[in-house]
Amino acid sequence: MNDWQIWFSTGIQHILDLKGYDHILFVVLMVFTYQVTEWKKLLWLITAFTLGHSLTLVLSVSDLIKLPQAYTEVLIILTIIFTAVYLLFTSKNPVKGGSVIYLIICCFGLIHGLGFSYLLKAMLDSSESIFTPLLMFNLGLEMGQIVVVILMVLLLLLIGKYAKTIEWHFKVATISVILVVSLFLCCIRILNIFYQ
């Protein structure tokens, strides 16, 4: 296996690894932001997230931004909590457009990029060029993210086709579970900072 394949597959595994489920939870919430029929808006939203985390991935791996991992992990969970609460308040009236949501998701992507960078930095040899590993790792992350989006969209399409009446209830229940899990994780991560 070539080096680029290793970095690409590592990026995919990182986003799809159940140990890193906080990123999966955030991507699931992004899918719920718009109706499936509004796939272009969803595509732009995911692109905003990608731009954000790609930027801080580059800056963090280049040591231009430094933040202790424990603080980053709390910030990542806070992005999930904020997004879940927002979606619960707008579940009856889905987002109707506006650029503010894209800016917010891009900023959240900046935070998630720091989280992605820790694995990449741990694997990099200090003597090697970071360009290829960074590019392929990031592309792998995007591929993993696309897999999550496609699976969620297919699930929503199936529910919409065969059980339209429960679609809204499914979304609200899923968002609520994500919120509860995230609040629990937030408490644990904050406690970890105090007990370090």
79-91 pLDDT per residue, tens: 999 999 999 988 7
DSSP-derived 3-state class of residue 71: helix
Considering only CA atoms, which of 14, 45, 7, 8 is closest in space to residue 152? Answer: 45
Would you list the domain boundaries of the chain?
3-194
Residue 95 pLDDT grade (very low, low, confident, very high; cuts 50, 70, 90)? low
Q: Assess contact for 53 and 110: CB atoms under 8 A.
A: yes
pTM, 2 dp: 0.89
pLDDT tens sequence across 142-170: 898 899 999 999 999 999 888 878 888 89
Judge whether residue 107 has pLDDT over 60: yes
Do 113 and 52 touch, CB atoms closer than 8 A? yes
Question: Pick from 97, 88, 52: which is nearest to 177 by CA?
Answer: 88
